[in-house]
Chains A and B, each alone.
Chain A
Amino acid sequence: MKRFTLGALALALPIAVTAAPETYTIDPVHSFPHFAIDHLGVATIWGRFDKMGGKFTIDRAAKQGTLELAVETASVSTGDSDKGARPRSRDDHLRSADFFNVAEFPRMTYQATEVTFNGDSPTEVAGRLTLLGVTRPVTLKIGRWVCKDHPFSKKPMCGGEASAVLRRTDFGMKYGVPAVGDEIRIVVGFEAYRE
């Protein structure tokens, strides 16, 4: 009887392991939040933050998960870092008190504990974004989600793309509205490795 119980436990172990919550660490080299904003009502300016870190947990059996992201606001880049003949570049301006105010608020964070699933894949994450010291609810829609082993290192990994829309004035970033649009589209491309 004792031998049977041990055998049953041994058989059940792999199932229990796969059902346990898994923790993934964001790969900062392949994960970037991009943003798009209207400029003068005629064009869309795209930018991104070069430094983002964080981790998420996923429990496919319990349909639960968490997400924590931290973005260094000074790493903002819109492709205009060379000031040329001008006194400052657009990226310099974005780092000033007019926009991301990086000296006063060097980090923007996102924390979520509510994840919606479709089968085994998360489709939506409801969390709270803290930008410029103001925290507001923001929902990320996950448009792409793939989990597999890294083709070379064979480490388990997940990646994909999440998007959201927010208004910067909700976070007190009011300068330049409406010439520089209020609505910001965010697209986060990410890769993460299982711990």
Chain B
Amino acid sequence: MEAALAMLWELLANPIVQSSALPLAAGLACAALLYPLRLEGLAAIAGFLAAVFAIGNFGFEPLSATRKIVLTGAAAAVIGALSDFAFKPTRFSAPLLGAIFGVAALWVFATVLRQKTPLDAALIGAGVVALTVWLVSATVSLQLDAARSGAAGLMLGLGTGFSAVLGASALIGQYGMALGAACGGFLVLLLALGPRVGAGHALTLTVSVLSALLAAASVLLAQVPAVALVALALVPVAARLPLPGTPLWMQPVLAGVYTAVPAAGACALVWLQSRGWAI
């Protein structure tokens, strides 16, 4: 028993397991367990928090930007799940949630902005808010289409994660990859059960808030160039591309291929910048 536990802890200490297999399994388990309650969209936050726990960053002192991201992501999941039950989605709900979390993004990065000159802080703050409002609005409006939502979440997470690793932050990278892997768990359930599985605000709000904040953090706290964020912002647009005559089981795969293009583009931009390209 002790040997098995030791092996388990050793596995959980492996960064690759922390940011791939663990969040994938946690996301799938959460989605499957909560599916009867129509809360399968909480797969994203379940997988993400499992990774945060394994990485050992569950402390909240100091309340740094990366720790505020974890808290804001958890709040997004709760608000998302509540709004799934309480409200019918309207055309205003996505921009409204985007605006709310745009303001939250300023709180997340307040300590970073305080180090800048007033002009730089205003410009950077506006950029962070714009990115958050856009990603939340564009991703939350996919909420009625589980295949597109899941694929967007998968590639937003992986794109943010790999970009951050190339940009010198393994922590933000692991967080991003874990988010993508958790959405992978959601997609596995979708492939298994078909169109009865729904993403809702619980998944789309969590994924968009976390990926926007992690992407911004990878620019502000590591060395990802801001232009990579433009490519990441195209992920929810790519998720809208048509899936004509595609069988249901193929839809997440095809949407995943579409969304992989801008996500890979973001990683390529970070790589090129690290090689000395002026971008």
Contact = CB atoms under 8 A, between A and B. Distances in A.
A106 interface: yes
A96 B115 contact: no
Given A97-B65, A134-B62, A88 B167 contact: yes
A103 B115 contact: yes
* CB-based closest 7 A-B pairs: A88-B168, A97-B221, A133-B62, A87-B274, A96-B169, A92-B168, A98-B171
Nearest to B172: A97
Contact of A103 (B171, B172, B220): B220
A172 B59 contact: yes
B55 interface: yes
A167 interface: no
Interface residues of B, number: 29
A176 B18 CA distance: 12
Contacts of A164: none
A92 B170 contact: no
Contacts of A106: 115
Given A174-B56, A174-B59, A104 B65 contact: yes
B217 interface: yes
A192 to B, nearest CB: 28
Contacts of A87: 165-168, 270-271, 274
Nearest to A88: B168
A95 B111 CA distance: 16
Nearest to B221: A97
B189 to A, nearest CB: 31
Contacts of B66: 97, 101
Contact of B221 (A103, A171, A174, A176): A103
Interface string B218-251: 0011110000000000000000000000000000
A106 B166 CA distance: 22
Interface of B: 13, 55-57, 59, 61-62, 64-66, 111-112, 115, 165-172, 217, 220-223, 270-271, 274
A97 B68 CA distance: 13
Contacts of B61: 134, 172
A40 B109 CA distance: 32
Given A87-B274, A133-B64, A104 B56 contact: no
Given A87-B274, A103-B115, A106-B115, A98 B170 contact: yes
A145 interface: no
Contacts of B55: 175
A83 B62 contact: no
B65 A88 contact: no
B223 A92 contact: yes
B169 A97 contact: yes
A187 B193 CA distance: 60
Contacts of A88: 166-168, 223, 274
A132 interface: yes
Contacts of A178: 13
A170 B141 CA distance: 43
B64 A97 contact: yes
A93 B59 contact: no
24 contacts: A83-B274, A87-B271, A92-B168, A92-B223, A95-B168, A96-B168, A96-B172, A96-B223, A97-B169, A98-B169, A98-B172, A101-B64, A103-B115, A104-B64, A104-B112, A104-B221, A171-B62, A172-B59, A175-B56, A175-B57, A176-B170, A177-B56, A178-B13, A179-B13
A82 B24 CA distance: 35
B170 A175 contact: yes
Contact of B171 (A83, A95, A171, A175): A175
Interface string A93-135: 1011110010111100000000000000000000000001110
